Structure 1
């Protein structure tokens, strides 16, 4: 029998995220009755080992299946396969490939702003001390990644997912997980000066810190505003990249940069 990790990599295209590939393979196994209705999905650790991916990738994949009505999760027990019904589940119309265009990329950020701003406000009201530590740790890891010390896109996902989980409302994690399936790696490479980059990174760090500080002091209005500011500024930064590319000032697309919000 072939190694699932090898087949996963073989199927991967530049616009596919690992979470998309994992959720697609799990869906294939569900529809092929390898995983039957009522059965429990393998544990996170087992899925990590099977596919050779991180815990965050596994959680994104399960969130996607949950948002499409294929699995349900139970606290402390795991995820269980749901029986299909005659009800058609409406799928989001975008694909990762289409999300690389200027319009769809910015539209996606608009939706994220609407969802994540409220999630930040709710997280500020409900977060536990343990969740606050997880959010702060995710921010610190993201700050290191901004300087090239790690997978930037992955650390960005970890940060926003930590906030979603602190809402104690699984639907926020579901919706964010579904939106992440649409988000492609940043399609453009930056070519600005080292000084300009340092300035931009410092602004992004400040935006992240404002979000975390508002959640820490349990100020919902400030947390909402800080997240709105961060994602609005992200949209402006993305728009500038696309505009520069249209003007012929940027080199060809690269899938290696991740997201630099």
Structure 2
């Protein structure tokens, strides 16, 4: 209860995040312009001028939509829409406390185990001949780069994204890619150790073989082997 001379405090509303504003504006533009899958978006300069924001904000928003699996950027060509977006499209950005990177990574790993194991099992049930060819091409490239350089971060991610696509359920890719996006800077060079999770390398081929054989239990088992190595390295390298 307030006295006559006491006014309740009303906190001012915080300004809306610029990236969020741009995300919403771009979604509305795509909807109103009736852009379809395969259509190219306006160039970065056009978006910057139209929305009155800097290049970094535009790129942050594009990365967000890429993580959702609805856009892709082709080098030298531009950014293209992979799936229609409307103002009613559901977006599920993840929020994780990153003050303690080690604990945050272990928390996301707990969630990844459930989602990623299920994704690989679903991929084993639903994979098509085209999916197998795509996964194998990504795995071959991953192995080539790994043997050449001793590490293959981008190629490793491409292989896992191919598995998520083989589920034919876009939510798997969206959720798992957003988890990785939350730690994008970390994953560039985990703990300044290029050998992070290197021991998981052989299990990617056995995982692929399990998916090809439509052996769901083997796919789950090989996925857990990969994630167990990741957990062990997080704990060991963050000491």
Q: TM-score, normalised to structure 1's length?
A: 0.61
Aligned mates of 1:129, 1:48 — CA distance in 2: 35
Please give the residue correspondences for 1:54-73 in structure 2 after superposition, counting only pairs within 5 Å. Answer: 61-64=65-68
C-alpha offsets along residues 44-66 of structure 1, whole Å, 9 cap, x if unaligned?
A: 7x459869xxxxxx797345276
Q: Which residue of 2 aligns with 1:70?
A: none
Aligned mates of 1:48, 1:125 — CA distance in 2: 39
SS in 2 for 1:79: coil
Pairwise CA RMSD:
3.9
Q: Which residue of 1 aligns with 2:87?
A: 83
The answer to whether the aligner puts 1:190 opposite 2:193 as a matched pair is yes
Aligned mates of 1:62, 1:144 — CA distance in 2: 26
Aligned mates of 1:205, 1:79 — CA distance in 2: 32
Aligned mates of 2:63, 2:140 — CA distance in 1: 21
Distance 1:115 1:38, change over 3 A: farther
Aligned pair count reads 195
Distance 1:37 1:232, change over 3 A: farther
Greater CA radius of gyration, 1 or 2? 2
Q: Comparing both chains, which one has the higher relative contact order based on Cα–Cα distances under 8 Å and sequence gaps of 6 or more?
A: 1
SS in 2 for 1:81: coil
Aligned mates of 2:193, 2:228 — CA distance in 1: 19
Q: Which 5+ residue runs of structure 1 have no aligned equivalent?
A: 1-22, 52-57, 67-76, 192-196, 244-261
Which ranges of 4 or more aligned residues in structure 1 deviate by more than 3 Å?
23-26, 33-38, 41-44, 46-51, 88-91, 147-151
The answer to whether the Cα contact below 8 Å between 1:38 and 1:82 also exists between their aligned partners in 2 is no
Aligned mates of 1:148, 1:50 — CA distance in 2: 35
Specify which of 211, 217, 225 is matched with residue 229 of structure 1.
225
Distance 1:212 1:84, change over 3 A: closer
Tell me whether 161-170 or 179-188 shows the greater mean CA deviation: 179-188
